[in-house]
Chains A and B, each alone.
Chain A
Amino acid sequence: MQTDNGQVTYLDAISQALMSEMEADPDVFIIGEDVGQFGGAFKVTKGFLDKFGPRRVVDTPMAESGFTGLAAGAALLGLRPVVEYQFADFISAAFDQIINVMARHHYRTGDPMPVTLRAPFGARLRAGPTHSQSVESYFAHVPGLKIVTPGTPEDAAGLLISSIRDNNPVLFLESKYLYRRLRTSAPLPLEPMPLGQAKVVREGSQVSVITYGAYVSECLDVAAELDKEGISAEVVDVRTLVPLDVETIVASVRKTSRAVVVHEAALRLGYGAEIAAVIQEECFWWLDQPVARIGAKNTPTPTSPPLEDAVLPQAAQIAEIVRRVATE
């Protein structure tokens, strides 16, 4: 199935994927704050209320824990809820329901728990310490959750479709920075894309740059610049943090013998620490340099532009580190 021709933003890709799943499966519904008549804080569900009605586009009171638990109960009865959090920052209010109700339910009981938790995450929008967080590491430690972090509109659509069809709770982290910045180059195929598969998004021979989310396009830009200097960087988009596609990452690093892991989340115990550990375990004898990690400083994300820029990894800094790892 294809949409009409033309370019599609990262946001529209998510919107179209969600709509196609709601059209295809009457058990899929969307629930959250302001998702109905307002169309969602970022307008992902604009027009959904008119199309599907209030039964399937459910505006809730301000109650992240309450509507997350509601989704869990509805999933136990065979529905496929898609929960929208206005910002990933607010998902902390639902932490208990996600960790203690959803994530371990299948292990405890054998019952499926098909819930998709959609949360716009990340920084670079001058939104400050409580509207800019990268929450993936809080959840990656918990068995039973899957975590998806698409870096392109195509992946956002395909991975959302698979997340909704998955029988487990899936934390679907949307880059709100990319919402209106990235567009597809071709009409969007609304087909499922398997979870747990990383993708080599640029082939290279001297160094592997492993990243996800908003930093995929950032690292592709850096790789293009380095190419002009004669440095050949391969870029791997992890796409799904849990389950992690170790095979693709390992194959890339064994080929290049050098690795840089990049993300926007704070460096300390950021997901890059897990990836770096896996590389060390699987590629130690192939490595020509220590694995480098790039992440935000271990501070909250400040609001003011010079402060936020000073905290987050910047292209020049990424280029410098990749250049060093690739050439020393």
Chain B
Amino acid sequence: MATTRARRKSGPKGEPVESRDRQLLLRIFETMALMRATEDRMVSMYRSGDLLGSLYTGHWHEAIAVGTASALRQDDFLAPLHRDLGAHLWRGMDPAQIMASFMGKATSPTGGRDGTLHYGRLDLNIYNPPSHIPDNYPVATGAAFAFQYRSEDRVALAYCGDGSTSEGDFHEAVNIAAVIKLPCIFIVENNQYAYSTPLRLQSATADFSVKAQAYGIPGVTVDGTDVLAVHDATAEAVARARSGEGPSLIECVTMRMHGHAEHDPADYVPRAMLEEWQKRDPVALYQSSLLEHHVIDEETASKVREAARKKAIEARKTALADPLPDPATVEQGVYAD
């Protein structure tokens, strides 16, 4: 039976919640709440047939997506994958445009040329990855290379899952970045399963951050349900990268609470494991922490959650009303001018 591995909390010791920037704390909460609300709404849309095909959700990945994105500047490069919707939201992406991508609408970032999770936008410094993962890892090293080439202090951050670490591109990208000291941060979202494949069939190491040692770079494992732990570990890696000390690897441990995509009932996951993880909802945990430290009160918390829910409802209406692309354009743009 697949079990959750012991977590080595080797991330940096965080500042107390109450002494942190309250605006930042609130924005993190709002973005996590919006990610959850958007994905909950899209699950309903999937079931009611609004979407074209698959829906990949990031339930219990909210702390990873938002914790990492919030530790970057807007001009840093992000190379997210399918469970990182909150990173797009942090950069300013409209949930309606994300829904439009899952519906093949002309208003999606690709104008319906690509769909589902493929909604990155270069104007937001977000890469739009192909389905082959982690192809975004080498691409992120290229962005980091460009920053180093131009002596800019920008960094690149790429995400992949536990399954992706078995691909050659993971190794090649991390190794190249380490050798030429690129300002790159590699996130491994360890969510226990790659489709139906459990950790024990993916890797024989105790955790994924130990792999960093073999490349000669720092690696830490953090609780991927703790947004401030993720944020702090990322901030530390970003500071290293910005100052020319090269890449880092951060393993964020969480659970994939839905199937690989919504068609997948994930009945290969032991029920007890899900029940255990059910107690560790990253959005709820963070909300409790904010309440406990009097950063927000109950009323504000409710308002934020309700505003997120309403925004997701409105986004669905917008996306549904959006036009489909014109088939007369289908042969345009294969090549750039």
User: In whole angstroms, how far apart are the Cα atoms of A81 and B142 in the complex?
Assistant: 10
Q: Which residues of B are in contact with A by a Cβ distance under 8 Å? A: 77, 79, 109-110, 113-114, 118, 120, 122, 127-128, 130-132, 135, 137-147, 149, 156, 168-169, 171-173, 175-176, 179-180, 333-337
* Inter-chain contact A76/B333, CB cutoff 8 Å: no
Shortest Cβ distance from residue B325 to the other chain A in the assembled complex, whole angstroms: 13
Known: A100-B135, A143-B334. A72 touches B176 (CB 8 A): no
Known: A63-B172, A66-B169, A101-B130. A72 touches B138 (CB 8 A): yes
Is A58 an interface position by the 8 A CB rule? yes
* Inter-chain contact B142/A77, CB cutoff 8 Å: yes
User: In whole angstroms, how far apart are the Cα atoms of A77 and B125 in the complex?
Assistant: 9
Known: A66-B169, A100-B132, A113-B336. A108 touches B118 (CB 8 A): yes
User: In whole angstroms, how far apart are the Cα atoms of A67 and B139 in the complex?
Assistant: 9
Known: A73-B145, A79-B149, A106-B333. A66 touches B118 (CB 8 A): no
Chain A residue contacts of B130, Cβ below 8 A: 100-101, 104
* Inter-chain contact A65/B169, CB cutoff 8 Å: yes
Chain B residue contacts of A114, Cβ below 8 A: 336
Known: A69-B139, A96-B135, A108-B114. A146 touches B176 (CB 8 A): no
Chain A residue contacts of B171, Cβ below 8 A: 66
Shortest Cβ distance from residue B255 to the other chain A in the assembled complex, whole angstroms: 29
Q: Which of A61, A77, A113 has the most CB of B within 10 A?
A: A77
* Inter-chain contact B173/A66, CB cutoff 8 Å: yes
Contacts A/B (CB < 8 Å), 23 sampled: A29-B149, A58-B180, A60-B179, A60-B180, A63-B176, A65-B168, A66-B175, A67-B138, A69-B137, A69-B139, A69-B169, A70-B145, A70-B176, A73-B145, A76-B122, A77-B146, A97-B138, A100-B135, A104-B130, A107-B113, A107-B333, A108-B128, A109-B109
Chain B residue contacts of A71, Cβ below 8 A: 142
The chain A residue sitting closest to B174, CB to CB, is A66
Chain A residue contacts of B173, Cβ below 8 A: 66, 69-70
Sample of 12 further A-B pairs with CB below 8 A, known A76-B122, A108-B118: A61-B176, A63-B175, A66-B169, A69-B135, A70-B138, A72-B138, A97-B135, A97-B138, A106-B334, A109-B113, A109-B128, A111-B122
Chain A residue contacts of B169, Cβ below 8 A: 65-66, 69, 96-97
User: In whole angstroms, how far apart are the Cα atoms of A167 and B144 in the complex?
Assistant: 20
* Inter-chain contact B139/A101, CB cutoff 8 Å: yes
Is A144 an interface position by the 8 A CB rule? yes
* Inter-chain contact B172/A109, CB cutoff 8 Å: no
Known: A74-B143, A76-B143, A100-B132. A109 touches B137 (CB 8 A): no
- 0 or 1 for each of A45-81: is its CB under 8 Å from B? (1 = yes): 0000000000110101101011111111111111101
Is A112 an interface position by the 8 A CB rule? yes
Q: Which of A66, A67, A101, A144 has the most CB of B within 10 A?
A: A66
Chain A residue contacts of B143, Cβ below 8 A: 73-74, 76-77
Shortest Cβ distance from residue A323 to the other chain B in the assembled complex, whole angstroms: 40
Chain A residue contacts of B334, Cβ below 8 A: 106-107, 143-144
Is A110 an interface position by the 8 A CB rule? yes
* Inter-chain contact A110/B333, CB cutoff 8 Å: yes
Chain B residue contacts of A104, Cβ below 8 A: 130
User: In whole angstroms, how far apart are the Cα atoms of A286 and B175 in the complex?
Assistant: 58
* Inter-chain contact A65/B179, CB cutoff 8 Å: no
Known: A61-B179, A66-B173, A79-B146. A167 touches B337 (CB 8 A): yes
User: In whole angstroms, how far apart are the Cα atoms of A60 and B141 in the complex?
Assistant: 12
Chain B residue contacts of A96, Cβ below 8 A: 132, 135, 169
The chain A residue sitting closest to B145, CB to CB, is A74
Known: A73-B143, A76-B122, A101-B130. A65 touches B138 (CB 8 A): yes
Is A168 an interface position by the 8 A CB rule? yes
Q: Which of B77, B122, B145 has the most CB of A within 10 A?
A: B145
Chain A residue contacts of B110, Cβ below 8 A: 108-109
The chain B residue sitting closest to A143, CB to CB, is B334
User: In whole angstroms, how far apart are the Cα atoms of A69 and B135 in the complex?
Assistant: 7
Chain A residue contacts of B122, Cβ below 8 A: 76, 109, 111
Chain B residue contacts of A60, Cβ below 8 A: 176, 179-180
User: In whole angstroms, how far apart are the Cα atoms of A143 and B331 in the complex?
Assistant: 10
Chain B residue contacts of A113, Cβ below 8 A: 336
Shortest Cβ distance from residue B331 to the other chain A in the assembled complex, whole angstroms: 9
Chain A residue contacts of B138, Cβ below 8 A: 65-70, 72-73, 97, 101
User: In whole angstroms, how far apart are the Cα atoms of A101 and B135 in the complex?
Assistant: 7
Shortest Cβ distance from residue A80 to the other chain B in the assembled complex, whole angstroms: 11
- 0 or 1 for each of A184-222: is its CB under 8 Å from B? (1 = yes): 000000000000000000000000000000000000000
Q: Which of A73, A144, A167 contacts B156, CB < 8 Å? A: A73
Known: A65-B168, A76-B127, A109-B110. A70 touches B336 (CB 8 A): no
Top 9 nearest A-B pairs (CB, nearest first) are A73-B142, A69-B138, A66-B172, A77-B146, A63-B172, A167-B336, A73-B139, A74-B142, A70-B142
Shortest Cβ distance from residue B123 to the other chain A in the assembled complex, whole angstroms: 9
Per the 8 Å Cβ criterion, residues 12-62 of A in contact with B are 29, 55-56, 58, 60-61
Q: Which of B79, B120, B140, B176 has the most CB of A within 10 A?
A: B176
The chain B residue sitting closest to A64, CB to CB, is B172
Chain A residue contacts of B172, Cβ below 8 A: 61, 63, 65-67, 69
Per the 8 Å Cβ criterion, residues 88-102 of A in contact with B are 96-97, 100-101
* Inter-chain contact B336/A76, CB cutoff 8 Å: no
Shortest Cβ distance from residue A59 to the other chain B in the assembled complex, whole angstroms: 9
User: In whole angstroms, how far apart are the Cα atoms of A168 and B335 in the complex?
Assistant: 6
Q: Which of A78, A100, A101 contacts B146, CB < 8 Å? A: A78
User: In whole angstroms, how far apart are the Cα atoms of A144 and B180 in the complex?
Assistant: 30
